[in-house]
Structure 1
Amino acid sequence: MTQLSLSSRETLLEDPPLARFAGLLGEPAAAQALIRLDRELDWQRPTLRLYGREHPIPRHQVWMGSPEARYRYSGRDFCPEAWHPEVTAIRDAVVERLADAGQAAGFNSVLLNRYADGEERMGWHCDDEPELGVDPLIAAVSLGAERPLRFRWKRRDAAAFNAWLPHDSLLLMGPGVQRRLQHALLPRRIEGLRISLTFRWVHPLSASGRPG
């Protein structure tokens, strides 16, 4: 398990760019953000259709952002809830940290996932929906219990690896990550609440349901 010093940056991959930052909000702000998001958001557990059957997702989530940031996933349309002030503050901290690192970024939406413990999970996937455009930049903030995000190469031409995500850390998945790798939050014997926020830019949908 990798321990990061406050405000440090670690490059996990050069190509495609994958980097981890520590100390995004600092304490006590990070702990207070975890408590506030847990208590104040309208956490939902939607069902997704897989192989012809409806299954509740193994976690709770909230889709949030600007009104035009509609998102389609596994055959369902998600309309964003309005920005919560705490989430807006975290988004601004992400943009500032990336700017300090020389990376310009803007985000009009965020998917928040709430994992009550290590048994709740996210399966293998890549964030490559058409609404995200070609080679999107995605920034993922972790609050609460530290867990590893598992990565594997789509071509299976290199070994899979873990990116441990400590409390108050930021993971930057740059252009090419979604095209070349998949990631998953696999079950672990880890106690404690974890909330993740994955910030992204969603291109508005046209009347035909395609990015306009």
Structure 2
Amino acid sequence: MNDRFSHNQLSLLEEFEKSHHKIGSSLPMPDADVIVYDNFFSDNESDTIFSVLYETVTWRQEVTYLYGKQVALPRLTAWFGDKGKSYTYSKIKMEPQPWIPVLKAIKLQIEEASCQQFNSVLLNLYRDGRDSIAWHSDDEKELGTNPVIGSVSFGGTRHLMFRHKQTKELKFNIELTHGSLLLMQGTTQQFWQHQIAKTSKPVQPRINLTFRQII
């Protein structure tokens, strides 16, 4: 690893020893428990985290199969976690890379805010507005019933859209900003789907981390 980024990671670990005592806002979504923390990480912390992850993570363009055809995911990904905590989604099985210091430091802060333990994290790199993730719920069997998902965003602001699975007119849209934390818990994944849609507007690259507990 680059010496400059090794030093930054050590600095982050020292800074994160001071807890982020933030108050989140609950979103008015029925059949869900979603809390957003704006500026959970400071701008300086977020800038450093983005640079470390962007430059040092081994990003992959995974492929899946749709109607018998091979299709590349419209974003880059990486999977980190405890040994043996593999994850399968969209017919893609991901084996965990070992934790790196910056991800461990972030994990500790998310765990404190959520009062939950996480053993893995999915990283998504949205390079521009053409990168996206389609409608889905984080309800894979490895996550168990009513999983807690801790989602942190760094870089360009993107819109996260929610839609209720049964009551189609129920929709919600929020902005995920630089350094924000979104907690999805309770029955959220049972009743709601979410997506990051493509956009023609100019947007900066964005890195999203979704911390999970694989059972």
Name the TM-score, length of structure 1 as normaliser: 0.87
Could you say what secondary structure the match of 1:34 adopts? Answer: helix
For the 8 Å contact 2:43–2:178, the answer to whether it is kept is: no
Q: How many residue pairs were aligned?
A: 193
Native 8 Å contact 1:140 1:197 kept in 2:
yes
- The DSSP-based 3-state class of the residue aligned with 2:105 is helix
2:149 to 134, 138, 141: 138
- Alpha-carbon contact 1:112-1:195 (below 8 Å) kept: yes
Moved over 3 A (4+): none
Match among 155, 168, 188 for residue 179 of structure 2: 168
Match of residue 55, structure 2, among 39, 58, 83: 39
1:127 alignment partner in structure 2: 138
CA distance in 2 between counterparts of 1:8 and 1:119 reads 33
Q: Report the alpha carbon displacement of residue 166 of structure 1 after superposing the two structures with TM.
A: 0.8
- For the 8 Å contact 1:121–1:187, the answer to whether it is kept is yes
Q: What displacement does 1:131 show?
A: 0.4
| 2:119 aligned with 1:108 | yes
Q: 1:13 Cα deviation (Å)?
A: 3.1
User: What is the deviation of 1:176?
Assistant: 0.7
Q: Which residue of 1 aligns with 2:209?
A: 197
CA-based RMSD of the aligned residues comes to 1.5
Q: Could you say what secondary structure the match of 2:186 adopts?
A: coil
Percent identity over paired residues: 34
Deviation at 1:18, TM superposition (A): 0.6
Given the superposition, is the C-alpha separation of residues 33 and 124 from structure 1 closer, same or farther in structure 2, using an over 3 Å criterion?
same
Q: Which amino acid aligns with 2:175?
A: W
Query: More deviation in 67-76 or 54-63?
Result: 67-76
CA distance in 1, matches of 2:71, 2:144: 28
Q: How is 1:10-21 mapped onto 2 (pairs within 5 angstroms)?
A: 10-13=25-28, 15-21=31-37
Residue range with higher mean Cα deviation, 150-159 or 61-70: 150-159
2:107 maps to 1:91: yes
Q: Aligned residue for 1:208?
A: none
User: Is 1:65–1:108's contact at 8 Å kept on the other side of the alignment?
Assistant: yes
